[in-house]
Amino acid sequence: MKIYNVDINLTEKCTFGCEYCFEKCDETKLKDFYDPELLKKFIFRLLESPWFKKNFEALNIGLWGGEPTIKDEMIIDLINTFMFDNVKFGLFTNGYKISYELRKILTDVKHFKVCDQPKVMTQISYDGRPIHDLYRRSKGNKLTSTTVRDQILKFDRDRIPLVIKSVVTPESFKYMYWAYKDIKELYKECKNTALSYFPTIDYYGTNKMEPAVLETAKKELQDALVKIASEEIYIEGDRFFFKWFNNSRNLCTAGHGIVAVDLDGHIYTCHACLYDDQQKKFKHRISNIELETVADDLERMHNEFGANIMDEGDCKNCDVNYCLRCNHAKYNQSKKQGYLDRWRDYQVQPNLCEFYKINSMITKSMKEVRNRRN
């Protein structure tokens, strides 16, 4: 099953002021998507292109912001327009305010499938109460964890397809165990949704740490992981609730299987590129939704990128069991010359690697103890 992914930035506006957010939008210049009708024409053109029909079974449209639910009418219109096409949607929201109209359509299509996947999958950002309330406050500086937690439970009650997404920064490693406990309790309250805890380490701040701060973060991460392991060790089977203890080293397919559309209709290699300054963004630009050649441009980029790989002598021989890599973050920090060389410079964030090595060490130790006990 091959699904092509187009992420769309619907708005720069947001109801939150998350401290670790890399978007950092200018409050005086916030914009929305410039022409929803042209966007729909682009999607139709892509679906009808010979290249797409030959290579893909479906299109996945990621709805991003800012906070995309601010543009709920646009979301509803897109879902209705492509209701019976091989088009599915991912809604990436902070879950703070979901309008009645948006919730209704999410409920109406909850049993619809595309390639045996939900027609609309909603991802709600929830970091676990202690971290969430430190870093994900509303624009009015209000605590948001209770509201977002209740929203997750409402989605579960209504059987609306849902996953949660968590972020952790080195400064908040000391709270990871308590965030894990909170999400574990949330999982027990959910009757229809299988949740897990798999926080993404903030890609963009790890290389700016002073040596003493880095050492403190490593110690606090190790302490948190040991506490989490002391509970995960009793889980039956091979899959853990804390996803870092599972084996996963998947590579991002941005540029090859994913592109992103900005507010002005320009298309870039991934949605993280949309938040660069204009000079940096230009290097990642592929095409524009208004161009008749847009499908050809996407095909060219798809072929030029190919599937992301690990070069010999790079990460290929690393034995960590779990890590996540962001190609855009690698590109911005790499000193290499060629575009793809910078895009795939996976060792350019050594501090991030150190954090995953600590996790791998604890994972191996926990599994060894587990095997001896059994």
> Whole-number mean pLDDT of the chain?
92
Give tens-digit pLDDT for 122-146: 999 999 999 999 998 888 888 999 9
The answer to whether residues 16 and 144 touch, using CB atoms and an 8 Å cutoff, is yes
Q: What is the pLDDT of residue 252?
A: 84
Measure the CA–CA gap between 329 and 308, rounded to whole angstroms.
15
Q: What is the pLDDT of residue 312?
A: 52
Q: What is the pLDDT of residue 24?
A: 58
Give tens-digit pLDDT for 167-220: 999 999 999 999 999 999 999 999 999 999 999 998 887 877 899 999 999 999
Task: Provide the pLDDT confidence category of residue 313 given band limits of 50, 70 and 90.
Answer: low
Which uninterrupted H or E stretch holds 364? helix 350-373
Calculate mean pLDDT across residues 16-20: 77
> Does the structure show a pLDDT above 70 at 285?
yes
> Does the structure show a pLDDT above 80 at 373?
no
Q: 3-245 adopts what CATH topology?
A: TIM Barrel (3.20.20)
Return the beta strands (E) in the chain as ranges: 3-9, 58-64, 87-93, 113-114, 117-118, 120-125, 162-165, 167-168, 200-201, 258-261, 266-268, 285-288
Work out the percent of the chain whose per-residue pLDDT is above 90. Answer: 73
Calculate mean pLDDT across residues 250-268: 92
Quickly tell me which residue has 């995960």 as its tokens.
232
Q: What angle do CA 126, 165, 173 make, to 5 degrees?
A: 70
Q: What is the pLDDT of residue 93?
A: 97
Q: What is the pLDDT of residue 310?
A: 65
Q: Which of 27-31, 43-47, 284-288, 316-320 has the lowest mean pLDDT?
A: 27-31
Calculate mean pLDDT across residues 35-56: 97
Q: Which amino acid is at 255?
A: G
Q: Which of 23-37, 50-64, 180-194 has the lowest mean pLDDT?
A: 23-37
Calculate mean pLDDT across residues 219-226: 98
Measure the CA–CA gap between 226 and 230, rounded to whole angstroms.
6
Q: What is the pLDDT of residue 184?
A: 96
